Amino acid sequence: MDNIRIDKISLPKNTKEIIKKYGFSFKKSLGQNFLIDQNILEKIVNAAELDQSKGALEIGPGIGALTQSLAHSAGKVTAIELDQRLIPILNDLLQPYDNVEVIHGDVLKLDLNSIFKEHFRDQTEISVVANLPYYVTTPIIMALLEKQLPIENIVVMIQKEVAERMVASPGRKDYGSLSIAVQYYCEPEMVLTVPNTVFIPQPNVDSAVIRLKRRKKPIVQVEDSVFFFKVVQASFGQRRKTIINNLISNLFTKDDKQKLISILQSCDIDPSRRGETLNIEEYARLSNVLLKV
């Protein structure tokens, strides 16, 4: 097989031949699952709204199936791969694409601001597009959002259950601190659900593609975003507890109970409500008042 001239890496036959040719073995600890469905790859790329003036940052490219599709749609693609064994494979398979660069490293440890400035200086917009390792999905997404990177969209394949939490609205059982954190920074939208049969090897869970369209500014105005998220996390500490009891257990003390009741009431929040019933506007109002306590 001429490894340089594979038109579609994602085709099952090609993926299997590449794995065999390079003697690659999957590491469960790295959450490696290669997508073998070209139709789904194209839907992922389309959701990122790319064109030749835009750039794409890919995390965990594997053997380059998604990278190859991105190379046809974006002006510049930079892929970050943690597994050193995949670097020579990627360099071989992606050699025909002069708009692709591969970086070996851990996305959670790299200086992403420097990477964006160095690799995307000629691009008008940059999106993150990836089939993320499921064991580090949330840390990666939160790092991308909290670092204030110039991102237009984050389009990622993740565990379906986590995607449902990101798009959840108040009152739903999957609504929690992750829902609020993502929705604070982005407009989340479920693009499609994906069965486990389109991966090699097959994961034990169903997957989903989610698009997080970055807001120009957060959906609510808070005086201290770090404190805002502390209030949110405290309020979801134990889901069966009321918000007043969660705040006492996780952020304040029993001595603050009467003061907290008064503050909640002043914010039009019944102290007997549970954290999962409050919307993001109510959390913003509450945290701005609590900050002054």
- Ligand-binding annotation for 81, yes or no, is yes
Strand partners, 159: 207
Helix (H, G, I), strand (E, B) or coil at 37: coil
- Ligand-binding annotation for 105, yes or no, is no
- Ligand-binding annotation for 196, yes or no, is no
How far is residue 88 from each of residues 22, 85, 132, measured CA to CA in Å? 9, 7, 20
**239 conformational bin, left if phi > 0, alpha if psi -120 to 50, beta if neither:** alpha
- Ligand-binding annotation for 270, yes or no, is no
What do you get for the CA distance between the two ends of the chain, in Å? 68
In this structure, are residues 246 and 257 in contact, taking their beta carbons and an 8 Å threshold?
no
Report the residue count for the chain.
293
Distance between CA atoms of residues 86 and 61, nearest Å = 9
Q: Which residues are annotated as a binding site for S-adenosyl-L-methionine?
A: 33, 35, 60, 81, 106, 131
Q: Which residues are annotated as a binding site?
A: 33, 35, 60, 81, 106, 131
